[in-house]
Amino acid sequence: MTSPSTLTLNSSELSFSLSIVSARHSRGMSRSGSSCLMVTHDNRVIDKADRLVSMVDGRIVSDIMVHEQVRICEMLSKIDFFSQMGTDQLSHVAEKMQVRKFHQGDVLIRQGDVGEEFYLMGDGEVDVRRADVGDSVVATLGAGHYFGERALITGEKRNATIVAREPGMAYALDKASFEAALASVPSLQEQLKRNYFARH
């Protein structure tokens, strides 16, 4: 799918919310191999969209790759402390997650650093290394696994170094968004603490 690199809109002309829908191979909407860009308020086209860009007053307020967001929500729903969230809450968390691509040998987090993000593995594998056991690999994590929550919950520094075993990608959620997710479900923070103590 080809998409324009820049879309310029005059914010003074937009005093309402709209969605830009990029659709590919949708029944009769475009020829095979081409893309279609639609500006619409009609939510019925959402199920045919590859990407949704929502704008308010000429500013982009969200930019969502639809299939990717569904994948993130499915993975989040399998994590104990996100499993009690509803679809809307999970979607809101998924919207905030940023793709972090990595190559073999890249360090995603380093033991002793201050925690700023929660990570959910998308593709590839990473090794968990601990200095207290001679920098040995204590675990290998793949798609659907997560890490980085402990430092965000406790305020402690990172307790392990995460190194990419192979090229791949993770979804990162910044500390403020992680804390907002915890606050959105009253019992979530307590459940997360119980989960943390069970794992460590």
User: Does residue 5 belong to any structural domain of this protein?
Assistant: no
User: 132: which 2 tokens?
Assistant: 């207290």
The mean pLDDT of the chain is 76
71 & 43 share domain: no
pLDDT digits (tens, 9 = 90+) for 58-70: 776 665 556 778 8
Together in a domain, 75 and 157:
yes
Domain count, the chain: 2
Residue 98 belongs to domain with CATH number: 2.60.120.10
Inform me whether the pLDDT recorded for 71 exceeds 80.
yes
Q: What is the pTM of this model?
A: 0.67
Dihedral sign, Cα of residue 135, residue 192, residue 170, residue 63: negative
The whole-number pLDDT of residue 39 equals 65
Burial of 92 (0-12, 13-18, 19+ CB in 10 A): middle
Residue 95's pLDDT is what?
A: 85
The residues that bridge with 141 in the sheet, in sequence order, are: 126
Do both 25 and 92 map to the same domain? no
Alpha carbon distance 76, 136 (integer Å): 28
What percent of the chain stands above pLDDT 90? 36
Domain boundaries, position 32: 11-57
Answer yes or no: do 103 and 22 share one domain: no
In angstroms, the CA 200 to CA 196 distance is 6
Nearest CA among 125, 197, 129 for reference residue 168: 125
pLDDT digit string, tens, across residues 184-194: 776 666 666 66
